Amino acid sequence: MKINSPLEAYKYLPQTNCGECGEATCMAFASKLIDRSGKTTDCPPLVKEKKFAKKLAELDRLLAPEIREITIGVGDRAVKIGGDDVLYRHKLTFFNKTKMFFDVTDTMDEAALVERTKKVADFRKFYVGRNLLLDGVAIRSVSNDPAKFAAAVKKVAEVGIPMIFCSFNPAVLKAGLEVAKDKNPLLYAANKDNWKEVGELALEYNVPVVVSAINDLDALKTLAKTFAEAGIKDIVLDPGTSPSGQGLKESFTNFLKIRRAGIMGDTEIAYPILALPITAWMAGISDPVSAAYWETAMAAIFTIRYGDIMILHSMEPYATLPEVHLAETIYTDPRTPVAVDSKMYKVGEPDENSPVLFTTNFALTYYTVESDLSSNGITCWLLAVDTDGIGVEAAAAGGQLTADKVKDAFEKSGFDLKKDVTHNTVIIPGLAARLQGDLEDKLDARVMVGPMDSGRLPGWFEKNWPPKQ
Q: What is the mean pLDDT of residues 68-86?
A: 96
| Long-range CB pairs of 373-378, under 8 A, 24+ apart, other chains included | 373/347, 373/454, 373/457, 374/347, 374/348, 376/457, 376/458, 377/348, 378/347, 378/348, 378/457, 378/458, 378/461
Instruction: Give the chain's domains with CATH numbers.
Output: 6-63 (1.10.15.40), 69-331 (3.20.20.20), 344-464 (3.40.50.11600)
> What share of the chain has pLDDT > 70, as a percent?
100
Please check whether residue 369 is in contact with residue 412, taking contact to mean a CB–CB distance below 8 angstroms: no
The structure's pTM equals 0.85
Binding residues for [4Fe-4S] cluster: 18, 21, 26, 43
pLDDT for 4: 76
Q: What is the spatial distance between Cα 359 and Cα 382, in angstroms, rounded to a whole number? A: 7
Query: Is the C-alpha dihedral spanning 307, 328, 140, 183 positive or negative?
Result: negative
Kindly report the average pLDDT of the chain as a whole number. Answer: 94
Q: Residue 1 pLDDT more than 80?
A: no
3-state helix, strand, coil in the chain (%, to 5): 45, 15, 40
Q: What is the pLDDT of residues 339-396, one digit of tens each?
A: 999 999 999 999 999 999 999 999 999 999 999 999 999 999 999 999 999 999 999 9
pLDDT for 282: 84
Binding residues for 5-methoxybenzimidazolylcob(I)amide: 359, 365, 389-392, 454
Q: What is the spatial distance between Cα 94 and Cα 88, in angstroms, rounded to a whole number? A: 8
Binding residues: 18, 21, 26, 43, 359, 365, 389-392, 454
Q: What is the pLDDT of residues 107-116, one digit of tens each?
A: 999 999 999 9
Q: What is the spatial distance between Cα 396 and Cα 443, in angstroms, rounded to a whole number? A: 18
pLDDT for 286: 83
Q: Which helix H or strand E contains 126, and what residues bound it?
A: strand 125-127
